[in-house]
Amino acid sequence: MEQKEIKPLSKIRSGEKAKLVNIEAGRGLNNRLASMGLVSDVEISVVSNSHPGPFVINVKGSKVMLGRGMANKIMVSGCDNEKDNSGSGR
Amino acid sequence: MKKITAALAGNPNCGKTTIFNLLTGSHQHVGNYPGVTVEKKQGVCRYGDYEITFVDLPGTYSLTAFSEEELVARNYILDEKPDIVVDIVDASGIERNLYLYMQLMEMDVSLLLVFNMSDIAEQRGLVFDIQQLSTLLEARIVQMVGTKGQGKQFLLDAVINSIEKPRKQRIHKINYGDEVEHELDKIEKALIAEEPELSQKYRTRWLAIKLLEQDDDISKHIKSSRVKNIVTSSFEFLKDILGENPEIYMAGRRYGYISGACQETIKTTAELRHNYSDMIDSVVTHRVIGLPIFLSLMFITFFLTFKLGHYPMSWLEHLFGWLGKTISGFWPAGSENWFKSLIVDGIIGGVGGVIVFLPTILILFMMIAFLEDSGYMARAAFIMDRIMHKIGLHGKSFIPMIIGFGCSVPAIMATRILENKRNRLVTIMVIPLMSCGAKLTIYTLITQAFFSEKLQPLMMWLIYIIGIILAVISIKLLRLTIFKGESIPFVMELPPYRLPTFKSISIHMWQRGWMYLKKAGTIILAASIILWFAMSYPKPDTSSHQNKLEYSAIGRLGKAIEPALKPIGFDWKIGTALIGATAAKELFVSQMAIAYSVGDPEQADMTLREKLSANYSPLTGFCIMLFCLIYAPCVATIAMTKQETNSWGWAMFQFFGLTVLAYVITLIVYQVGNLIFY
């Protein structure tokens, strides 16, 4: 698989998917996000990214809202063009 | 009858409370965990030979030491040692939900799994191999639909079965990979050697995991410096080779374990792309119409609360009026004594004044419970977050503040929807700045007494706006000083919409209503009696023409503080009324009426409004409104702040802080106003 460019989640458009690389935040926030399923390599699909409105993602089957500031701290690698079906666990 | 304790654990929005209500019905006890503001709910269920006490733990995603809720849940399981922990998971979002289960598994407690919302999971085309999952997760699994009351029997049977026939030692454990396992092993060995007591009390592996995760709560129990050193070096070593914090890496491994277990046992038969929740969301969280929808829903909530609440409220008012009259009738005319006055004016008047608000409070909490249980509240929080975030608060804080325009007491109770303690405290502190319904009676009196009909709405609007602006400034100041710290970044789950059950809503409503009656009621009763004494005693000689109020303790107190009130344009009468109004704000009006009831004979046939405008300038009038807006909240509010913050310190901070703020601002306005207008 080719190496994808790493960019903040906020750059991913509505309807696209991305893989989480890391989160540039403090321990508390990192842990909270991890407990909600945001760990390395998890597939995130962006449900809604409309400036300046809600930033909503779908991770492991549940919808999670994020502040825009946080979406800037979550680094992902895009997998928008890939036709992969190994991403989800079920 | 055998007694069992079962703790209910689960993610927020997994339907845990619905199941708890289903199991225990109205046999519930709501309190707080000692020393914290986290709500503790307990309920009893009799089944067969057993009396099962269910404890509803706070809804959490994990069991770290980062939040009060998670710590409370964890410590309850560790220290109170319930006979069984029932983990309720939302079957339609199984992977995320099982993360909490992994942590419970590592704590090595007796476990039972409930797959709730099996109907929604089925709609989404999920098929579970329960047998296989049960083996992999090493627990009995019960499928339920809490909202429809399905599976209650199975759950109770499973609880009893799990206790009568407990499972053997766990076989499976999460493998964190060779590097981490090696370090965990080192820490475990050190723990057994150096901290025998601790590793006897808790499971050593669990302790080692928590130490490697740098868990603050567990770390502080470690005395041995050798263990500490090993943990530090392991942490640094792993951080270096893993390229990320070990705790995050370990979270990833737990999710890996879950994925593995689910891959083998869960089949997806149909892919559901768009469900109704998405459709509703595309409208209510729309960036243009989302805000108007939220504001109209809020308006409807208030409209219904105060419109519908108005009728039972007037019935109750009549009831208390009738009660007062009937009791007065026991004393034939002329034989009235102090006792009658205490009962009728003090107790029935004071307590009745509080109870009449009960219908309004019940309706308001019913509306809020509906908005919350349906899933809309999460969306509302998101819409408001854009605005609230600018002043350093969570979007959800907006809801209690809006309720504050009705009454501070339910508003402070409503701050329970805020998970973060700092957010809660800041919100509680500024809620009294939202002009409540009782303050409205003061504003009405003053604006009508001092301002022309044209100016009245403007003055009214101005005082409300000043309250809001002061609240915003105070929040900013508090966030910069006492409640310093990074503003909590916004992460929140959007639960799927669902129709709330009648049972859940009514239980929620009665619990809040009962709390209001019990807490505010007892304090108000005491305050009413004290205030009545202060207003009635000591009595002047019947021969003297002295004003009764002026002679009473509270009147003297008003006189005593008059010098301090002069610079802000108030006299002793206003001072007396202000003191009395701390029992309930609307008392200001009746106190002013009493203070002016015996006075200049020339003014005898004037209304209170005319008397006020004859005695004070419009500037003083405005200053009265301003002071009433800001100064010390009423007794019921203080009592509620004390209860919700679990400290007299915060209640007193609010009391004095607001009074000082009121004094300073009124002083500036009065002095500057005097220079300009006179």
pLDDT at A2 over 60: no
* pLDDT per position as a tens digit, B31-54: 767 666 677 889 999 998 999 999
Mean pLDDT to the nearest integer, B67-71: 84
* CB distance A13 to A67 below 8 Å: no
Q: How far apart are CA B32 and CA B42, in angstroms?
A: 11
Does residue B527 or residue B284 have the better pLDDT? Answer: B284
- pLDDT value of position B108: 87
Percent of chain B's residues with pLDDT above 90: 35
Measured between beta carbons, which residues in chain A are less than 8 angstroms from residue B498?
none
Which range has the worst mean pLDDT, B189-193, B398-402, B622-626?
Answer: B398-402
SS3 B34: coil
- B395 pLDDT band (50/70/90 cuts)? confident
Q: Which of B446, B445, B439 is nearest to B464 (CA)?
A: B439
Helix segments in B202-245, DSSP class H = 204-212, 216-219, 225-242
Residues 6+ apart with CB under 8 A from A62: A36, A37, B93, B96, B493, B494, B495
User: Least CA distance to B497: which residue of chain A?
Assistant: A63
- What integer pLDDT is reported at residue B432 of this predicted model? 95
> Searching chain B, which residue's CA lies closest to the CA of residue A24?
B244
Class of domain A6-78: mainly beta
The matching CATH number, chosen from 1.10.1370.40, 1.10.287.1770, 3.40.50.970, 1.10.3720.10, for B178-268 is 1.10.287.1770
Portion 416-435 of B in contact with A at CB < 8 A: none
- DSSP three-state, residue B84: strand
pLDDT at position B629 is 95
Nearest CA-CA partner of B148 in B108, B189, B118 = B118
Residue B306: C-alpha distances to residues A55, B362, B403 (Å): 35, 11, 11
pLDDT band at A87 (very low <50, low <70, confident <90, very high): very low
- Summarize the confidence of residues B576-595 as an average pLDDT: 81
Indicate the pLDDT class of residue B157, thresholds 50, 70 and 90: very high
- How far apart (Å, rounded) are the C-alpha atoms in residues B99 and B259? 10
Q: Give B341-389 pLDDT, tens digit per residue.
A: 788 777 777 777 667 778 877 887 788 888 888 889 888 888 887 778 7
Q: Where are the domains of chain B?
A: 2-164, 178-268, 290-438+460-484, 520-677
Identify the CA nearest to A15 among candidates B91, B286, B497, B278.
B278
Cα gap B79→B62, rounded to integer Å: 18
Quote the pLDDT of residue B555.
Answer: 84
Residues of chain A contacting residue B383, judged by C-beta atoms under 8 Å apart: 54
Closest residue by Cα to residue B338 from B538, B546, B514, B142: B538
Lowest average pLDDT, out of B22-36, B201-215, B408-422, B459-473, goes to B22-36
* Buried/exposed code over B45-67 (b: 16+ C-beta within 10 A; e: otherwise): bebeebebbbbbbbbbbbbbbbb
Q: Find, among B182, B164, B181, B174, the residue nearest to B84 by Cα.
A: B164
Which residues are B4's β-sheet partners?
B52
Return the exposure string of B71-104: e unless at least 16 CB atoms fall within 10 Å of the residue's CB, then b. Answer: bbbbebbbeeebbbbbbbbbbbbbbbbbbbbbbb
- Provide Rg for chain A, Cα atoms: 12
- Which pLDDT value is given to residue B474? 92
Give the 3-state secondary structure of residue A75.
strand
Give the confidence band of B544 by pLDDT, cuts at 50, 70, 90: low
Which residue in B66, B247, B287 is closest to A50 by CB distance? B287
Over range A6-12, report the average pLDDT.
91
**Contacts for B492 with CB less than 8 Å, ≥ 6 apart:** A64, A65, B378, B381, B382
For residue A36, list chain B residues with Cβ-Cβ distance below 8 A.
61, 96, 491, 493
Predicted confidence at residue B507, as pLDDT, reads: 86
Calculate mean pLDDT across residues B111-117. Answer: 93
The structure tokens 């915003």 sit at B472
B200 band by pLDDT with thresholds 50, 70 and 90: confident
Tell the CATH superfamily of the B2-164 domain: P-loop containing nucleotide triphosphate hydrolases (3.40.50.300)
For residues B609 and B631, which has the higher predicted lDDT (pLDDT)? B631
ipTM of the complex: 0.85
Positive or negative CA dihedral for B73, B76, B79, B85? negative
Q: What per-residue confidence (pLDDT) applies to B54?
A: 95
Say what the pLDDT of residue B201 is.
Answer: 86
User: Residue B126: its chain A contacts at CB < 8 A?
Assistant: 90
Asked if B224 is an interface residue toward chain A (Cβ–Cβ < 8 A), one would say no
Residue B259 has pLDDT above 80, yes or no: yes
Q: How far is A17 from chain B (nearest CA, A)?
A: 14
**Any A CB within 8 A of B382 CB:** yes
State yes or no: pLDDT of B230 exceeds 80. yes
Type of residue found at B394: H
Average pLDDT over residues B647-676: 94
Which helix (H) or strand (E) segment is A22 a member of? strand A17-23
**pLDDT score, position B11:** 92
Distance CA B650, CA B638 (A): 9
Does position A86 have pLDDT exceeding 60, yes or no? no
- Please give the pLDDT value at position B228: 92
Q: Do B95 and A37 touch (CB under 8 A)?
A: yes
**Per-residue three-class SS string for B334-394:** CCCCHHHHHHHHHHHHHHHHHHCCHHHHHHHHHHHHHHHHHCHHHHHHHHHHHHHHHHCCC
Q: Residue A31 belongs to what H/E stretch?
A: helix A27-35
pLDDT of residue B603: 59
Question: Cβ of B493 and A65 within 8 Å?
Answer: yes
The model's confidence at residue B307, banded by pLDDT at 50, 70 and 90, is confident
Helix (H) or strand (E) holding B290: helix B290-328
Please judge whether A36 and B489 are an interchain contact, meaning their C-beta atoms are less than 8 angstroms apart: no
Average pLDDT across chain B, whole number: 85
Predicted local confidence at residue A90, as pLDDT: 38
The answer to whether B82 and B33 are in contact (CB under 8 A) is no
User: Cβ–Cβ of B92/A50 closer than 8 Å?
Assistant: no
Who wins on pLDDT, B24 or B518? Answer: B24
Note whether B91 and B126 are within 8 A (CB): yes
Cα gap B401→B410, rounded to integer Å: 10
Please list every residue in chain A whose beta carbon sits closer than 8 Å to the beta carbon of residue B384. Answer: none
> How much is the pLDDT for B128?
92
Q: Contact B62/A35, CB-based, under 8 Å?
A: yes
Task: With beta carbons under 8 A apart, name residues in chain A contacting B268.
Answer: 90
* B489/A67 CB distance under 8 A: yes
The three-state secondary structure class of B227 is: helix
Query: Which one has a higher pLDDT value, B518 or B629?
Result: B629
Write out the residues of chain A at the interface with chain B, using a CB-CB cutoff of 8 A.
22-23, 25-37, 39-42, 47-48, 50, 52-54, 56, 59-67, 69-70, 89-90
8 Å CB contact between B320 and B356: yes
**Whole-number percent of chain B with pLDDT over 70:** 93
Give me the residue from A36, A61, A64 closest to B92, CB to CB.
A61
Closest of B276, B307, B304, B467 to residue B370, by C-alpha: B304
Least confident of B177-191, B218-232, B364-378, B626-640: B364-378
Distance CA B228, CA B198 (A): 14
Provide the pLDDT confidence category of residue B553 given band limits of 50, 70 and 90: confident
- Average pLDDT (B64-88) is 91
**Weakest-pLDDT range from B151-155, B309-313, B384-388:** B384-388
Query: Which pLDDT score, from 0 to 100, does residue B271 have?
Result: 61
Tens digit of pLDDT for each residue in A18-73? Answer: 999 989 888 888 888 999 999 988 999 998 887 666 688 999 888 898 877 788 88
Least confident of B89-98, B105-114, B306-315, B512-521: B512-521
